Amino acid sequence: MSFVVSARKYRPKSFDEVLGQSHVTDTLKSAILADKLAHAFLFTGPRGVGKTTCARILAKVINSPDPKKAITDHDFGEVDLDVSLNIFELDAASNNSVEHVRNLIEQVRFQPQQGQYKVFIIDEVHMLSQSAFNAFLKTLEEPPPYAIFILATTEKHKILPTILSRCQIFDFKRIQISEVITQLETIAAQESITIDDDSKYVIAEMADGAMRDALSIFDRIASSSNGNIVYDDLVQKLNLLDQDYYFKMTEALLAQDKTTVMTLFHEVLMNGFEGDHFIMGLADHFRDLLLCQDQRSVRLIDASEAVKQRFLAQSKLTTGSFLMTALHICNENDINYPKAKNKRLHVEIALLKICYINQLIENKTSTTAAAPNAEKKTPDPTLTPQEQTKPIVKVSPLQEKEVIDLSDELETEAEQPIEKTQPKTQPDPQPAIKPINEVLIKPTSEATLQNTPSISNIDSLLTIVKKDRAIEEQRTVKNITIDDVQQIWDAYKEKTTTPSTRGVLEKSHLELENNTIEIIVASVIGKEIIQQEIGLMQEIRSSLNNNELDITITIDKTRFPVTEVELPKKYLSFREKYDLMVEKNPELENLIKKLNLKKDNNA
């Protein structure tokens, strides 16, 4: 079997064939032509973008009979440099110990058999151990003039700074989708395989900037396509979520067809896809529709021309308000998806929210537009002349549409506007009293409208309510006195059953200053005992209706009288210890006699 995968068969053999890394290849060619080649290089970047390939090409070029001719004419001489003994490759993922590095250093001592340089390519260099890096430092800094080291890695941050400072660093970037598609077309033509535009874009997008991944996917599909790769076959074999689902889902959402929305999502789940995968794909679809609303940003969409035309057609049916709100809902859904227990219902709620965005926007717009007219026809007699003459802030239709507050519709049904009575012809001698249930609607500034929460941002509303409630509670806090604190302290002490805790509470002193309660104890043990009484702290704050109250515990031995006098320690002799033992237990004498033990009278 002589089949060779495309990633190896079509590996670049010269700098000019390397895709998407011209900033690296041009620099290396200039260094060779100017004869200013460094002794150590570090190639870093994502997988499959050409790091090892460039390392091999560099090794071949500098060991060719005429490096300048090898660069310009791709003439490497008659010697096959691919099997040259002057080029050593080491896989640091499996050879990462100190012994492997020492063996490599031993090879550095010998001069090249043919050619000018001895090149050492160390792939996945970040896998070397700490001791291996240290053993490699001196050789890397001062190698022989004929030795060149090329290190390659995908994780630059794992390499020691001492290694980085000794190398010329070249950062490889991801390959553009257009360049991947061009290479796929070239390879497909050489392999006599036809591939449609949609399939090329799907393969290039799945590769995520890695040419090796793109060629692996291409080989997988080409092996069973009989020389013709089509989009439908590609989606089925790669088990991809067809983009047609997103177009159908968007049409159903715009039509407020909740039955079709739920049915399409059910089909997606039955095909084996997760809800978060679908919702983020839908967010990408909304993002592309948003880009299509401006001709200058259409070029940012990575899709075939046929798909771009579908995006342009569907974008004309949507509005910026709908797309921005839908993107916000999808983003919130993705953030909270891992915490949801019923993940299917979590996604379905988000889809239903998106389904009714346009209806809520229209209702809110009509309500906002009718409000100024109602004020003109029936002036409110309960307002002062200054409030009635206050100017109303006007908002442009576009701005009004972007900042509409749709949060109220999620909580309750839309309330009917309160009908206000016509003003009396005769003025009432008594001052007018505002009805309790009437809400005073004041003109809203433009800055406030821009900060209005969106349909799915209910958490921000709850935060505002809690903040206002906390401010209101602080206003009702009464002045605290030390007697109030002492009364709560004594009540808690009476409920305490632990003797040690009760004793510490009885001996502690309390002081109050600047909304701070200071508890003074005599020892570290007393402080630790009070710190463990979390219920005491909570009871003080709740009883005083002040959650912001600071409670500190300090140790001050001078505040407490000395209750014990330290006496000098007395050391007992063995005879005195024996007498004390016999005094406590007289049976000890009988035990000594039974065991026929002798007492040492001199002890």
Residue pair 169/153 in contact by the 8 Å Cβ criterion: no
CATH number for region 482-558:
3.30.300.180
- pLDDT beyond 90 at 350: yes
Q: What does the pLDDT read at residue 469?
A: 63
Confidence label for 285 from pLDDT (cuts 50, 70 and 90): very high
Owner of token pair 């209005």: 452
pLDDT of residue 472: 57
Closest CA to 292 of 282, 270, 307, 281: 307
User: pLDDT tier at 516 (50, 70, 90 boundaries)?
Assistant: confident
Kindly list the domain boundaries of the chain, sorted by start residue. Answer: 6-171, 177-238, 243-355, 482-558, 567-603
* 550 to 40, 62, 547: CA distances (angstroms): 61, 73, 9
Domain 177-238 identical in fold to domain 482-558: no
CATH fold for domain 177-238: Helicase, Ruva Protein; domain 3 (1.10.8)
Looking at residue 465, what is its pLDDT? Answer: 59
Check: pTM over 0.75? Answer yes or no: no
Backbone angles phi, psi at 497, to 5 degrees: -105, -15
- pLDDT given at position 173: 92
Is 243-355 CATH 3.40.930.10? no
Q: Is 337 exposed, middle or buried (0-12, 13-18, 19+ CB in 10 A)?
A: middle
Mean pLDDT check: name the lowest of 154-163, 291-300, 411-420, 473-482.
Answer: 411-420
Q: Which fold has domain 6-171?
A: Rossmann fold (3.40.50)
> Beta strand pairing status for 509-513 and 516-521?
antiparallel
pLDDT band of 369, cuts 50, 70, 90: low
Cα–Cα distance between 18 and 172 in angstroms, integer?
11
pLDDT of residue 418: 41
**Average pLDDT, stretch 563-574?**
62
SS3 at position 122: strand
pLDDT in tens, 380-439: 555 555 545 444 444 444 444 444 444 444 444 434 444 444 444 444 445 444 443 443
Mean pLDDT of 504-528: 84
Confidence of residue 342 (pLDDT cuts 50, 70, 90): very high
Q: Do residues 289 and 323 touch, judged by C-beta distance below 8 A?
A: yes
- In this prediction, residues 487-515 reach a mean pLDDT of 83
Average pLDDT, stretch 523-535? 82
- Residue 23's pLDDT is 92
Residue 364, pLDDT above cutoff 80: no
**Which of 287-291, 344-348, 396-400 has the least mean pLDDT?**
396-400
CA 509 to chain centre: 49
- The model's pLDDT over 129-168, given as tens digits with 9 standing for 90+, comes to 888 888 888 888 888 989 999 999 999 998 989 899 999 9
* Residue 584 confidence class, pLDDT cut points 50, 70, 90: confident
Convert the pLDDT of each residue in 540-561 to its tens digit.
878 887 776 788 888 887 777 6
For residue 421, what are the contacts with CB-CB under 8 A and spacing of at least 6? none
Beta pairing, strands 516-521 & 40-44: unpaired
Mean pLDDT score of the chain, rounded to an integer?
79
Task: For residue 271, name the pLDDT band (cuts at 50, 70, 90).
Answer: confident
Q: Is the pLDDT of residue 508 over 90?
A: no
Q: What is the pLDDT of residues 2-34, one digit of tens each?
A: 778 888 888 998 888 899 899 999 999 999 988
From residue 316, alpha-carbon distances to 248, 365, 397, 441 in Å are: 15, 20, 18, 36
Dump pLDDT digits (tens) for 42-92: 999 999 999 999 999 998 888 888 888 888 877 776 655 555 778 888 888
pLDDT digits (tens, 9 = 90+) for 245-267: 999 999 999 999 999 999 999 99
Written as six digits, the tokens of 166 are 């000794």
